[in-house]
Amino acid sequence: MFVIWLAGPIEPNVAARLTGMSRAAVSNLAKPLVEAGVLEKTPVSHDARSVQLSLTEAGEKEIVEAFAAQNERELAWVDVLSDAEQQILVMLLNKLITNRSQFDVRGRN
């Protein structure tokens, strides 16, 4: 849902590429979200076999609330660190991101 919220309505193959998931995994994940009323599938005009995934109004509300709650948790976690510790954390996270090619990490490109 987060990727669809950021990217807007997209086809499942694009969602798979952006998340590093397989097309089948996106399809399996989408089914219960459609049933829950937070995601909708709309046929696309250029390919009768494909659909476009988009958030419903309920889905948009849910992702905004979840994102806000996650931001609050992250602020609480970081709040226990001093300014110097926060800078060290940022440096360490940047190092991990920069050197991720050394690890078996799925890309999102």
Write down the pLDDT at residue 107: 56
Would you kindly state where each structural domain of the chain is located, as residue ranges? 2-58
Instruction: Find, among 22, 23, 24, 26, the residue nearest to 2 by Cα.
Output: 26
Which CATH entry fits the domain spanning 2-58: 1.10.10.10, 3.40.30.10, 3.40.50.1370, 3.90.1200.10?
1.10.10.10
Grade residue 49 by pLDDT with cuts at 50, 70 and 90: confident
Q: Which residue has the tokens 């669809």?
A: 4
Grade residue 68 by pLDDT with cuts at 50, 70 and 90: very high
Write down the pLDDT at residue 80: 96
Instruction: Find, among 67, 51, 47, the residue nearest to 6 by Cα.
Output: 67
CB 14 within 8 A of CB 52: no
Instruction: Find, among 66, 16, 12, the residue nearest to 39 by Cα.
Output: 12
